[in-house]
Amino acid sequence: MHEMAIVQSMLDIALRAGEDAGAKRIRTVRVKMGEYSDVVPVIMREYFAVAAKGTICEGAEIEIARIPVTMRCRACGWEGRVDRRRIVCGGCGGIALTLLTGREFFVESLEAE
Amino acid sequence: MEIKVMHQIMEWNEDVSDQVKATLAQHQICMINVMGSPGAGKTSLIVALIKALRSEYRIGVIEGDIAGQIDAETIDALGIPVVQLDTDGACHIEAESVRHMLPMFSLEDLDVLIVENIGNLVCPAEFNIGEAFRVALLSVPEGDDKVHKYPLMFATSDAVVMHKYDMLPYFEFDDGRVEADARGVNPGVTVFRVSSRTGEGMDGLLAYLRARIDAVRAEQAGTKEENP
């Protein structure tokens, strides 16, 4: 249910950027989202459709590109993709890892008319 | 036409979370975000912590609830400053709500602020509220699969408390699995087995909390000297 607060922020960002650029209508909102996130895309799209009614974003598609979880091992220097349910170094099996990607969550661009 | 945006969606919350952190640092207050399911025993644990720590620290509590103020009344009965945060249906606490709550406390009279988040294993995990650290509760009757099913909550917490541990003989609950799952999603996590009813395991948790609180407040004091 926390998706509503997030969708409102997404919509505000899209409206502001769209209006600044003089857009009449937003067709697509492109979002980048790390896999280390429990925001549900389907719910986000449904909420967005409702929240955007009557704005230049009405009917806009939400395109979500997921970014995999990658980490760096502080022991052996290994870098790579990690399963978020089993966080271990793919090189030495160590657990001293630093998150590199996977927590991103931002509006990347808009496709507008 | 394509419009480049590159704008963080959670920025509204992160900015306010940083403001809350700065306000708390000014007053050397360590804020602890306590999360867990409805019925995990968050209020009972907080009451036990207050009783054990109130002679050492001046403690305040923010009670997050979707409706009602039963928990706030429980804390108030201990004579501890408590503010009820009624989210009016929302499933989580945001930094903005905490920012609004802070002026209701006399901040110069606090060392520790405990926030009881909304009973929910999903949504609260996504929102930083300006806390110094997070404690996630998982009670024995809830089942040992919860870390596996709700990884973010446990991955973003500093400590996991297996609560109502005195109930272990009555449930099919593999505490080793919970500990392994928690370390799987969060290698640096500290795991405790606690019953706030019998007092079992409280000593270990209290020692951990004292060390964390003291470290946070010492760091806040250091930063304050650098930027008076």
Residue of B1, B3, B6 to mutate for A, most A C-beta atoms under 10 A: B3
pLDDT tens sequence across B131-167: 999 999 999 999 999 998 888 899 999 999 999 999 9
B66 contacts chain A (CB < 8 A): no
Please tell me the distance from the alpha carbon of residue B167 to that of residue B173, in angstroms, as a whole number. Answer: 9
How high is the mean pLDDT of chain A?
A: 92
Specify the pLDDT at position B122. 85
CATH code for the domain of B53? 3.40.50.300
B14 contacts chain A (CB < 8 A): no
Specify the pLDDT at position B66. 76
Count of CB atoms situated within 10 Å of the CB of B13: 21
Residue B57 lies in a domain: yes
Q: Please identify among residues 27-46 of chain A the ones whose CB lies closer than 8 Å to any CB of chain B.
A: 31, 36-39
Q: DSSP for A12-68, please give it.
A: HHHHHHHHHTT-S-EEEEEEEEESS----HHHHHHHHHHHTTTSTTTT-EEEEEEE-
Averaged pLDDT for residues B55-72: 88
Residues in B closer than 8 angstroms to A8, CB to CB, are none
Residue of A38, A74, A89, A97 to mutate for B, most B C-beta atoms under 10 A: A38
Q: For residue B82, what are its two tokens? A: 């408590």
Residue A40: pLDDT band with limits 50, 70, 90 = confident
Tokens 């989210």 belong to residue? B87
- What's the one-letter identity of residue B48? A
Residue B4 lies in a domain: no
Q: How distant is the Cα of A55 from the closest Cα of chain B, in angstroms?
A: 17
Q: How many CB pairs under 8 A join A and B?
A: 94
The percent of residues in chain B predicted with pLDDT above 90, rounded, is 78
pLDDT at B178 over 60: yes
Please tell me the distance from the alpha carbon of residue A43 to that of residue B183, in angstroms, as a whole number. Answer: 30
Please tell me the distance from the alpha carbon of residue B101 to that of residue B81, in angstroms, as a whole number. Answer: 12
Q: How distant is the Cα of B182 from the closest Cα of chain A, in angstroms?
A: 9
The residue of chain B with its CA nearest to that of A25 is B1
Number of domains in chain B: 1
Specify the pLDDT at position A1. 61
Pick the CATH number of A3-68+102-112 from 2.60.40.10, 3.30.390.50, 3.30.2320.50, 3.40.50.620: 3.30.2320.50
B3 contacts chain A (CB < 8 A): yes
Averaged pLDDT for residues B34-60: 96
Averaged pLDDT for residues B78-88: 87
Specify the pLDDT at position A4. 84
Which of B75-84, B87-96, B210-219 has the least mean pLDDT? B87-96
- Sequence ranges of the domains in chain A: 3-68+102-112
Residue B51 lies in a domain: yes
Count of CB atoms situated within 10 Å of the CB of B9: 24
Residue B53 lies in a domain: yes
- Reference B31, options B91, B117, B122; nearest CA is B117
Residues 6+ apart with CB under 8 A from A93: none
Residues 6+ apart with CB under 8 A from B114: B31, B32, B34, B46, B49, B50, B59, B60, B61, B62
Would you say A11 and A57 are in contact if contact means Cβ atoms under 8 Å apart?
yes
Look up the domain containing B199 and give its range: 17-219
